[in-house]
Chain A
């Protein structure tokens, strides 16, 4: 158990809908990352937040957005869903402290999204 929790575990929805995925980082971790993993694309970095602020951005679609709240939990919002958005979505957290250091990421168990 990494200490990172993600809800829900599974989500089934229809095209065009909007969903919210939730992540609670390990206690004390200030940084949260979101990843998408599909069979054909592998593990893709979407976005990173540090203490409520966006820090790094990857291949995140405009239909997707994220935020990190004052209690450090994070939400990933996916809207106008398409069939191709079906994937595993992972959240990770790390105890990033200074910009000159590198961190260890602890991954949650993931949310499996199925778009029908």
Chain B
């Protein structure tokens, strides 16, 4: 199973952009990159996913390296509500085991 590595924690000032990195050096050509986040006392929620091209949605942007061995989740303007644990996971198909690592705990400073 392809693994991902993320920093344990990061800090950001409110209203500034945040770049959350994820390394997945053993990624295969058919692995999709998914990001989820978990706010305190809540279940995880989907943020974004992609395969090869960069992706944007209302929550965030996903920048995928050309060799696909790393990706970056970009929050364009961090708010206090974005303080959460962010998980980067890989999945080939919808029937693969789902492996969540420890994620990155993001703190947002007012």
Contacts and interface: CB of A to CB of B under 8 A. Distances in A.
A56 B46 contact: no
A101 B94 contact: yes
A44 B102 CA distance: 10
B99 A90 contact: no
Given A2-B43, A43-B87, A90-B43, A100 B98 contact: no
A68 interface: no
Given A102-B32, A102-B49, A102-B91, A107 B44 contact: yes
Contacts of A109: 42-43
B101 A42 contact: yes
Interface residues of B, number: 24
Contact of A107 (B43, B91, B92): B43
B88 to A, nearest CB: 13
Interface in A24-69: 31, 33, 35, 42-45, 48, 50, 55-58
A99 B94 contact: yes
B11 interface: no
A46 B60 CA distance: 28
Contacts of B101: 42
19 contacts: A4-B43, A33-B98, A35-B100, A42-B103, A43-B44, A43-B100, A45-B98, A45-B100, A58-B98, A100-B93, A101-B93, A102-B32, A102-B34, A102-B91, A105-B44, A105-B46, A105-B98, A106-B46, A107-B45
Interface of A: 2, 4, 31, 33, 35, 42-45, 48, 50, 55-58, 90, 92, 94, 96, 99-110
